[in-house]
Chain A
Amino acid sequence: MGGLLDILNAPSPHRLPSTIARDDEHLLVAAARVGDAAAFEELVNRYEGKIFRLTRNITGNHEDAEDAMQDAFLKAYAHLKDFHGDSRFYTWLVRIAANESLMRLRKRRPNQFSLDEPIEGDTDLFPRELEDWGPTPEQKYAQTEIQGIVGDVIDRLEPEFRIVFLLRDFEELSTQETAEALGISVSAVKSRLLRARLKLREKLNRHFRQGAPN
């Protein structure tokens, strides 16, 4: 099936102007909605790396991450007609992938976390570890080491905080979009995000404080 991709890949002068080609997500989605499988595959090519990073970060498990990513794309394809363009296609995809990942995480860790349980009080909020990081703490490490540290601190964060952080800060969903994706209130998103950010700061502090071994 050719369709839209033939147009996008056609040599100049038949190729679409570059500004349209760069911002062609809505064209690809529209083509996929009317059955252009190649257009959908192009969307998959664009987002598979980001979606796999998300499913990996939520599940903390390679096998579950692969299954969640695959099922997210298959569900998105099957339900394209339900996507009305109210949000970006990628945001819609993130919501599906987050739910697929959560399902698998809950299966592996039943009763271990709840997204809608209220967080009691704020007595534990004030950070316990306060040490100077210096101006460019990340330069203490090589890029591959930084990737290892990032993966490690995110994995060690409790799931009920991790998922909110991933959707809000990593995937840049709005507070409202995150609340809708997870089926929790806006205030629950905000309180979990605050705790997630503070906990992550504390975890990074162990690596970045001046004098810490690297």
Chain B
Amino acid sequence: MNCKGVIRELSNYIDGDLDPVVKQELERHLEHCEDCTMIMNQTKKTIEILCGSQPVSLSTDVRSRLHAALRQKAGQKPT
């Protein structure tokens, strides 16, 4: 497998979604290609950093409007 092949399969490799033979070929390439190893590691790091962000805290106003709308939908009086 060449560098283009590795990049084409990079996502499937990260997701564990590769045929075992293709996976082995890709890993053999990574053993001797510093550029592809760097891209692979940085892409994994990218996912880790971007997906590690915390859920947004809703402001009191936004939260009040959301719950008021839900209570109205449910036909309940606001508490």
| A residues whose Cβ falls under 8 Å from a Cβ of B | 1, 37, 40-41, 44, 48-50, 52-53, 56, 66, 69-70, 73-74, 77-78, 122, 125-127, 130, 132-133, 137-138, 146-147, 150-151, 153-154, 165, 169-170, 175, 190, 193-194, 197-198, 200-201, 204-205, 208
Contact = CB atoms under 8 A, between A and B. Distances in A.
A170 B50 CA distance: 8
A153 B70 CA distance: 33
A49 B45 contact: no
22 contacts: A37-B76, A41-B67, A50-B55, A52-B55, A52-B56, A53-B56, A69-B66, A70-B65, A74-B70, A126-B7, A130-B35, A137-B45, A146-B53, A147-B54, A150-B50, A197-B10, A197-B11, A197-B14, A200-B46, A201-B42, A201-B46, A204-B42
B1 interface: no
B22 interface: no
A78 to B, nearest CB: 7
B11 A74 contact: no
Interface in B24-79: 35, 38-39, 42-43, 45-47, 49-51, 53-58, 62-63, 65-67, 69-71, 73-74, 76
A73 B70 contact: yes
Contacts of B67: 41, 44
B64 to A, nearest CB: 11
A193 to B, nearest CB: 5
A126 B56 CA distance: 34
Contacts of A138: 49
A177 B17 CA distance: 15
B29 to A, nearest CB: 14
B12 to A, nearest CB: 7
A198 B55 contact: no
Contacts of A37: 70-71, 74, 76
Contacts of B17: 175
A66 B67 CA distance: 12
Given A37-B74, A40-B74, A201-B46, A169 B53 contact: no
A1 B76 contact: yes
Q: Which 9 pairs between the two chains have the least Cβ-Cβ distance? A: A49-B55, A37-B74, A194-B11, A53-B56, A50-B55, A201-B46, A52-B56, A201-B43, A150-B53
B7 A48 contact: no
Contacts of B50: 150, 153-154, 165, 169-170, 200, 204
B39 A201 contact: yes
Contacts of A130: 35, 38-39
